[in-house]
Structure 1
């Protein structure tokens, strides 16, 4: 699959992303005003370097880092690390240290909206119609707003704390491009995760790509996409990658409802080599993020965690792990609060949930397998079988063929997988997931029989 997507950086084709929400991960106060001085909480990340290396991830995606009023999506200053986290110099140092560990760094770019404390909005508050930055926002002086500023303004989804930027204005665009240039060139980041990319015009992203790639040709641009025609925003002249929300929903829905047909259907709909919606697009796939209930809290049974991660780490696209999911943290999102899904990361394995070490080891093993198998990182995907509790698909690249089988039954299962039209009759497969990895399976009459699919486990079989 990703062999065909030549517009994304080569390094991204083998990326495994670890997503940190910094203000939560490091336990910062909820509001910037609650901390009068600077606190170098970012320093604590050094305590997790071994964790990152042991897990096997090679990209850290930092959520909002810039000076903000509260949660990081209400930016005050795009050029400054939030004082609750540290300084620009410290973050540059951390970026260098991660690079020395062969780990790349992506940060969050929230360019659709800013806070009411942002400089251009403060200027409009002070000078009204005479403000030199009047066109930086969408302002209406014929109406007032809930804050009684004497004017109304466009915002994000009715939240007046989030003031919409006018990205049609050349001065605003040039400013945002200079922001990207600064973090890519001066700090050394490797790319951007771009908030609500689907709400921003493709013309803006086209120019943003040109500016960013001119500064760092192999940077990655990941657009937050929730719905809509992805190819409108993702492509050779636009953004590199889109977030895979449809795949995300199908993973836990199919597993929870004992309906692996649903997951097979989304694979066919998404990645079919002729008519798949995302056949020419790379997705960033995930089981959790800072906006979603934690996967362990979503799944009906803890035993479902391994099948979910087995799918995530063997399917098409770039996998992303939200901090804490690899040790089984729980967290329920409510209409009132995201705090439960953004809690601090445990500082020691002694504080992990009881099943944390087992989950970690299993995910670590899947990541090791992904790193060394070309068919997973570069291959096409062909679904071959599904029933209520079992899914099977083939990953095939120019160098390798793998058969992935996922079992969500709570009992040991025997299954015959049909492999019609795959040119595999008489061929031999070797097991990669189990220790030893020397168990052989043969395709006979275009079928592969497995007598021992373990409960909530799977097989990763390599064609010899």
Structure 2
């Protein structure tokens, strides 16, 4: 199922090197979506089981200014290309999740400006409401039943065509009640489909409960991971992990350290030695982890608040993996190792995580469920020995695999231990009398 997998997130228009804007009518369809077929083995070998596609529907420019939700963008191909991709992905054990942009459409959408469909859009100040001030993105009227009907038809159409779920763009800008009504109509026909909303701030659990979505994006954890590493402040990470743990009481958040809207992790980190620390957190705490294409190769890219400011984080990939820079493959193999660890412990999707030891530059994260993992992070300039009892635990992955003492973590190093046995003694802040002794 989608919720139990590791996602590889691709922005197709950028990945395939598509033109920045829709070509004139009559321009031949470009079957670029087929290029993704040559990367499916790469994604599967990385350890991913879900391919999340950014916008693939006909749009004016970047994919979020939709013109036709029922048509593949001609810069990417056609519906037959989508069907081919679904079949090829399934042959490799990969499910496909689509990006649903249902808060707004492009100004060139055929229903915008047509007086017969004026009720589809939100009037504002003599004009129409737009998404966060972007004049090219006009907001749909989610209180009108025809808009609800349209969204339901779109979701049903592509799920019936082979998609396994939806990532819902800008869900935070839409009424939670809209999704509850929509999903009540979609789920009976597609009970295995999974729906995750983009929510940046606020009450994640409350939005999930009100909307009926399966998940939302975990921006709090994303920020805490890179910020705590840069600032030498694992207290921020511990705070975020505690918040994250509470969310897992009701749903599995969609976790990530990079996506199409943010500066790349390799650029964001002040010390490149801490890349493994960020990944160790991502793959050993609860949730549904997503890897943004290129991050697994250590790509760099700065997101800027200007026209074209997303281009650096949405680059084209070469024709095939053999053409990638050799310097990126060690990062790919690091991802493989940690994703492999995640796949060997599928219970981690719903794991609960405590913090049995904490300093500014050293933290222990203990994840439990049907098994136990202990993640030890040290960003200090000297080796650090964690004062924990790790009886029954053994090193599973480490930045210093030859270390004789599993509790002694090298300077700027990390270690993940697995097995049975309590990691902290009675009376320690991370200990509870009802902690299990093993899986």
| Aligned counterparts of 1:414 and 1:406: Cα–Cα separation in 2 | 9
Residue aligned with 1:121, SS: coil
Residue aligned with 2:154, SS: helix
Alignment match of 1:428 (pick from 392, 406, 425): 392
TM-fit CA distance, 1:378: 3.2
Aligned residues of 1:327 and 1:359 also touching (Cα < 8 A): yes
TM-fit CA distance, 1:68: 0.1
| Aligned counterparts of 2:347 and 2:159: Cα–Cα separation in 1 | 31
TM-fit CA distance, 1:428: 2.0
| 1:20 lines up with 2:10 in the alignment | yes
| Aligned counterparts of 1:306 and 1:24: Cα–Cα separation in 2 | 26
Output the aligned Cα RMSD. Answer: 2.3
Q: Which residue of 1 is the match for residue 418 of structure 2?
A: 461
| 1:98 lines up with 2:72 in the alignment | no
Q: Which residue of 2 is the match for residue 7 of structure 1?
A: none
Aligned residues of 1:264 and 1:385 also touching (Cα < 8 A): no
Q: Which residue of 2 is the match for residue 357 of structure 1?
A: 329
TM-score when scaled to structure 1? Answer: 0.85
Aligned residues of 2:399 and 2:414 also touching (Cα < 8 A): no
| Aligned counterparts of 1:392 and 1:246: Cα–Cα separation in 2 | 19
Can you list the C-alpha shifts for 1:269-313, whole angstroms capped at 9, x where unaligned? 331xxxx35532321111111110111110112211111111111
TM-fit CA distance, 1:216: 0.7
Aligned residues of 2:95 and 2:164 also touching (Cα < 8 A): yes
Residue aligned with 1:32, SS: coil
Alignment of 1:393-404 (within 5 A): 393-397=365-369, 399-404=370-375
| 1:196 lines up with 2:170 in the alignment | yes
Aligned residues: 418
| Aligned counterparts of 2:227 and 2:400: Cα–Cα separation in 1 | 33
Aligned residues of 2:398 and 2:414 also touching (Cα < 8 A): no
TM-fit CA distance, 1:339: 0.6
Q: Which residue of 1 is the match for residue 147 of structure 2?
A: 172
TM-fit CA distance, 1:33: 2.4
Can you list the C-alpha shifts for 1:152-201, whole angstroms capped at 9, x where unaligned? 1111112221111111111111111111110011x110010001111111
Structure 2: runs of 5 or more not aligned: 422-439
Aligned residues of 1:230 and 1:242 also touching (Cα < 8 A): yes
| 1:74 lines up with 2:65 in the alignment | yes
Structure 1: runs of 5 or more not aligned: 1-10, 124-130, 144-151, 442-448
Can you list the C-alpha shifts for 1:92-131, whole angstroms capped at 9, x where unaligned? 22112211211111001010100111121141xxxxxxx2
TM-score when scaled to structure 2? Answer: 0.90
Residue aligned with 1:86, SS: coil
TM-fit CA distance, 1:410: 5.0
| Aligned counterparts of 1:12 and 1:359: Cα–Cα separation in 2 | 25
| Aligned counterparts of 1:435 and 1:33: Cα–Cα separation in 2 | 48
TM-fit CA distance, 1:249: 0.5
| Aligned counterparts of 2:248 and 2:310: Cα–Cα separation in 1 | 30
| Aligned counterparts of 2:381 and 2:89: Cα–Cα separation in 1 | 40
| Aligned counterparts of 1:189 and 1:180: Cα–Cα separation in 2 | 9
| Aligned counterparts of 1:244 and 1:436: Cα–Cα separation in 2 | 30
| Aligned counterparts of 2:79 and 2:222: Cα–Cα separation in 1 | 34
Alignment match of 1:232 (pick from 188, 201, 206): 206
Q: Which residue of 1 is the match for residue 380 of structure 2?
A: 409
| 1:286 lines up with 2:243 in the alignment | no
Q: Which residue of 2 is the match for residue 3 of structure 1?
A: none
| Aligned counterparts of 2:409 and 2:240: Cα–Cα separation in 1 | 27
Q: Which residue of 2 is the match for residue 65 of structure 1?
A: 56
Q: Which residue of 2 is the match for residue 4 of structure 1?
A: none
Q: Which residue of 2 is the match for residue 162 of structure 1?
A: 137
Alignment of 1:288-367 (within 5 A): 288-336=258-306, 337-349=309-321, 351-353=323-325, 355-367=327-339
| Aligned counterparts of 2:320 and 2:395: Cα–Cα separation in 1 | 34
